[in-house]
A and B are shown apart, each in its own frame.
Chain A
Amino acid sequence: MTSGAGAPTRAEIMVFAACREVRDGDCVFVGVGLPNLAVQLALRLHAPRCHLIYESGVFGARPVRLPISIGDPCLVSGAAQVLPMAETFLYFLQGGRTDLGFLGAAQIDRYGNLNTTVVGRDYDHPKVRLPGAGGAPDIALNARRTVVIARQDRRKFVERLDFRTTVGWAEGGTSREAMGAPGGGPARVITDLGVYGFDADTREMTLESVHPGVTLEQVREATGWDLRVASPLGATEIPDEAMLRLLREELDPDRIYLKG
């Protein structure tokens, strides 16, 4: 095996940023893709007592290999509980037992609302038929914090969604609370260019840090609206050599999630 030395890739920086959002003791609703790896890293670093929940119906997963999907058999062997999917949604999400949820999206707007349904405004004749809602609307509605992970470009970061599958901060301000959404709303957006928070009053997405080698101009270029930027703009924290070794050699040696 090669050593972990070498600069982190964008994917590794995203995984590390997502991992930092997990707090020890959190009930974490783990989504498809990079979050699978981020929570494994969090378990090994600062959050050994976090509980991994999968919408497939698993609480307290402790997989001994990297799960390839949210329904991988390795999530069941050694888990604390397996339960029907309906109860996972009823009790862990709607029942208010989820601290953190991870989400992905094909389109996101400045208030963290997400589209995973169709590209094109005509629902009946879409340009691209996307996968649809899955568990996302309920994670977004009920989790105390949500974190969105997406690659960033102008087709994804749009002024107006073609379809709102999943609510973030709705129209901003107090509009989310006004509609009676029980959860805490989006806390962070992590992309291959930077990390975003949301303004406490307007609830508008705000660029907080850029990854090494990324300029503010590049980020603006990849955003479909006039981007709000924190002052001062920070630099995204990057994983150290030991963490990189852990990611590359132990957690994802086949580069299932770290490719690209």
Chain B
Amino acid sequence: MPARGRRSDDNPLPEVPTLSESKVLTMREAVSRFVRDGDTVVLEGFTHLIPFAAGHEIIRQRRRDLALVRLTPDLLMDQMVAAGTARKLVFGWLGNPGVGSLHAVRRAVERSYPGPLEIEEYSHFGLLCRYKAAASGLPFFPLRGYRGTDLPRANANLKQVACPFTGETLDAVSALHPDVTIVNAQRADAGGNTQIWGLVGAQREAAFAARRVIVVVEEVVPEDVVRADPNRTQIPSVVVDAVVEEPWSAHPSFVQGYYDRDNAAYLAWDRITRDPAELERYLDEWVHGLPDRSAYLARLGEATRDRLRPGPRLAGPVDYGDYR
């Protein structure tokens, strides 16, 4: 395993034996082994860390009849719907943020083009509570969220429950247990202990809720790098089935400290998504026509990557203490 941790060697840590076995797979292996036709698949990451490379591999492997779940379906879901992977979309907010609509999703919902797409919608809070219930081993989660709205009229899965203590009528959503959750992160060790900084979205809840979990990271690091900073670990090895190391796998979304959001790509999508033929060409060029993410990166080019690299803004170190 390559030693690519960012820890300074001025102050060496005590030796820690590597406890977990390696779950490192290629993206092709991970998707082929853990994503099946008909699965309920959560792809999380709120603006930050969107699993584009994993989604593209699912398209390439021609998975079908998936129920795709995501708080904010954006470009990736538009692509996955256009590519015919989905029978259903479960979501909270649907759009290309600040730019416009997801026209492939809209064509499917408004005109059943090229086929129908079942939708099931929540507020962000409602869908977050579904992950939280499943992650916590509860059958449902109570919230105040839908009173006074028409949302229960659109979704029979939004119900009400009386508080046994106060009698207040609360809203309730059911636990959502994904067959597989896929999340991106900055780094993980080979066993799957996964560290995220910046927006952490719903990654932890969605991972604990799932039957199978794939994490896709910018870097696989030695286990002692993770153990040196355990507060940063969002997802523990015990819930992870596969670790995939693919730099730039969240492009055109961003990875805090590694690369910025490629806003030009989000703007360009508005033209592509309006025309089914144009969208087909995009999928041919950027997904079906490429074997993997490194080919995508070569096509993207070094100049684009240079444009998106941020300057440094380091956190100060903290002292966890050495308690021998």
Residues on A facing B (Cβ under 8 Å): 32-33, 55-58, 68-73, 76-78, 82-86, 89, 93-94, 113, 117, 123, 125-129, 131-138, 141-142, 163-167, 170, 176, 179-182
Q: Looking at the assembled complex, report how far the CB atom of B3 sits from the nearest CB atom of chain A, in whole angstroms.
A: 27
**Would you give the shortest CB distance from A72 to chain B, in whole angstroms?**
7
In the complex, the answer to whether A137 meets B110 with C-beta atoms within 8 Å is: no
Q: A131-B94, A134-B92, A137-B151 are in contact. Are A57 and B200 (CB under 8 A)?
A: yes
Besides A128-B110, A132-B121, 7 more A-B contacts (Cβ < 8 Å) are A69-B261, A73-B261, A85-B202, A86-B202, A86-B205, A89-B124, A138-B145
Interface membership of B84, Cβ < 8 A: no
Q: Which residues of A contact B126 (CB under 8 A)?
A: 133
B270 interfacial contact with A, CB 8 Å:
no
Closest to B205 in A: A86
- B114 on interface, CB distance cutoff 8 Å: no
CB-CB nearest 7 A-B residue pairs: A71-B47, A167-B148, A134-B93, A133-B123, A131-B95, A89-B125, A86-B128
In the bound complex, residues from chain B placing their C-beta under 8 Å from that of A89 are 124-125, 128
Contact of B199 among A33, A71, A78, A165 (CB under 8 A): A71
**B226 an interface residue at 8 Å Cβ cutoff?**
no
Contacts of A166 in B (CB 8 A): 149
Q: Quick check: A71 and B168 within 8 Å, CB to CB?
A: no
Any A CB within 8 A of the CB of B291? no
Q: Is the CB of A167 within 8 A of B149?
A: yes
Does A33 lie within 8 Å of B98, measured CB to CB? yes
Give min CB distance, B165 to chain A, whole Å: 15
> For B201, what are the chain A residues with a Cβ–Cβ distance below 8 Å?
56-57, 84-85
Contact (Cβ within 8 A) B202 A132: no
**Chain A contact residues, majority secondary structure:** loop
A165 partner residues in chain B, CB cutoff 8 A = 149-151
Chain B neighbourhood of A142, CB < 8 A? 144
> Among the listed A84, A123, A129, A181, which residue makes an inter-chain contact with B200, where contact means beta carbons less than 8 Å apart?
A84
Most A Cβ at <10 Å: residue of B125, B132, B151, B254: B125
In the complex, residue of chain B having the shortest beta-carbon distance to the beta carbon of A168: B148
Task: Decide if A180 touches B48 in the complex (CB within 8 Å).
Answer: no
Q: How far is A128 from B200 in the complex, measured between Cα atoms in Å?
A: 32
Please measure, in the bound complex, the distance between the C-alpha atom of A131 and the C-alpha atom of B93, giving whole angstroms.
5
| A137 to B121 Cα, complex, angstroms | 13
The reply to whether B150 and A164 contact each other, CB–CB distance below 8 Å, is: yes
Q: Which residue of A lies closest to B72 (CB)?
A: A134
In the bound complex, do residue B125 and residue A93 qualify as a contact, i.e. CB atoms below 8 Å apart?
yes
CB-CB nearest in chain A for B169: A180
Write the B246-286 contact mask toward A (1 if CB under 8 angstroms, else 0).
00000000101000110100000000000000000000000
29 contacts between A and B (CB under 8 A): A32-B97, A32-B98, A57-B46, A68-B261, A69-B97, A73-B48, A84-B202, A85-B124, A85-B128, A85-B201, A93-B125, A94-B125, A94-B144, A123-B154, A125-B110, A126-B109, A129-B101, A132-B93, A132-B94, A133-B122, A135-B125, A137-B151, A138-B145, A141-B144, A164-B148, A167-B147, A167-B148, A167-B149, A180-B168
Whether A56 contacts B47 by the Cβ 8 Å rule is yes
B97 with A76: CB separation less than 8 A: no
Which residues in B have their C-beta under 8 angstroms from that of A133?
A: 92-93, 121-124, 126, 149, 151
Say whether B94 contacts A137, CB under 8 Å: no
Question: Of A69, A93, A131, A163, which contacts B150 at CB under 8 A?
Answer: A163
Interface centre among B168, B199, B263 (most CB of A within 10 A): B199
Other-chain contact of A84, B205, B254, B261 (Cβ < 8 Å): B205
Question: Is B244 an interface residue, CB under 8 A from the partner?
Answer: no
Q: Assuming A71-B46, A167-B148, is B199 touching A76 (CB within 8 A)?
A: yes
